[in-house]
Copies of this chain bind each other. A is one copy, B any other.
Amino acid sequence: MLDFTLENISAEDVERLRALYEPLAQSVRELIDATVRTQADAATVAAAKSEIDSATARLRQKQLDGSFGVRYLASGERLAWGNAVIGIRNPIAPPLEIHHDANGKSFCDFHLGAAYEGPPGHVHGGVAALILDHLLGEAASDGINPRLTGTISFRYVRATRLGHLHAEAMTTRIDGVKTFAAGHLADQEGVTVEAEGVFILPRWARDGGD
């Protein structure tokens, strides 16, 4: 089964850790963008690479054996700081900050730059799938237990321009352990990708489960 660790750390500790590691990840996001777009010469690249390798060695002096995982606090709050879509400590995550409105809609506004490219100037179709898979899963969740994707399908209306984007999703139906959700991704000119999926409550989170 999946290992969701319960951590007994205080709200103050969470804020201290966030203040320490969130700006680090944001710096690495800037570096990723610069790495894709740079036209620097060999001497400049060598100097930059040397600094990067030095930073990596510093950070590796003390590190987790595996991945970050998901930590549940005693308060019930869920820290998915390593998550590939919403992880504030994960430089490959945009990261998405998901909001929920009173009608049950989950939505987010975010920016995707050069690192998320597929067709020239446009978002990789698979990145659109990555974002929507996460958002529909979040819409299908009850805020306590996650729902894992069972099946999901995407219809690409047209290419999504890199830049400022909006995505939204909501639950459309619940049938036992299955929750159905639908949503879309949009750029400045409107909807670009539509998605619908079925999300499953993990066995360990069901009544009496392990």
Contacts and interface: CB of A to CB of B under 8 A. Distances in A.
A92 B84 CA distance: 10
16 contacts: A2-B121, A25-B35, A31-B31, A38-B59, A38-B63, A40-B62, A44-B59, A52-B52, A52-B55, A66-B114, A67-B162, A91-B92, A92-B116, A124-B134, A126-B134, A129-B130
Given A31-B52, A148-B125, A2 B119 contact: yes
A69 interface: yes
Interface of A: 2-5, 20-21, 23-25, 27-28, 30-32, 34-42, 44-45, 47-49, 51-56, 58-64, 66-70, 82-85, 87, 89-92, 113-122, 124-127, 129-134, 137, 146, 148-156, 159, 162
> Which residue, A37, A47, A55, has most C-beta atoms of chain B within 10 A?
A55
A87 B37 CA distance: 12
Given A31-B52, A37-B67, A49-B23, A130 B126 contact: yes
B83 A118 contact: yes
Copy number of this protein in the oligomer?
2
Given A52-B51, A67-B121, A58 B84 contact: no
A152 B195 CA distance: 10
B91 A63 contact: no
A120 B84 contact: no
A98 to B, nearest CB: 13
Given A82-B36, A84-B116, A44 B31 contact: no
Contacts of A154: 129, 149, 151-153
A84 B151 contact: no
Contacts of A39: 62-64
B155 A117 contact: no
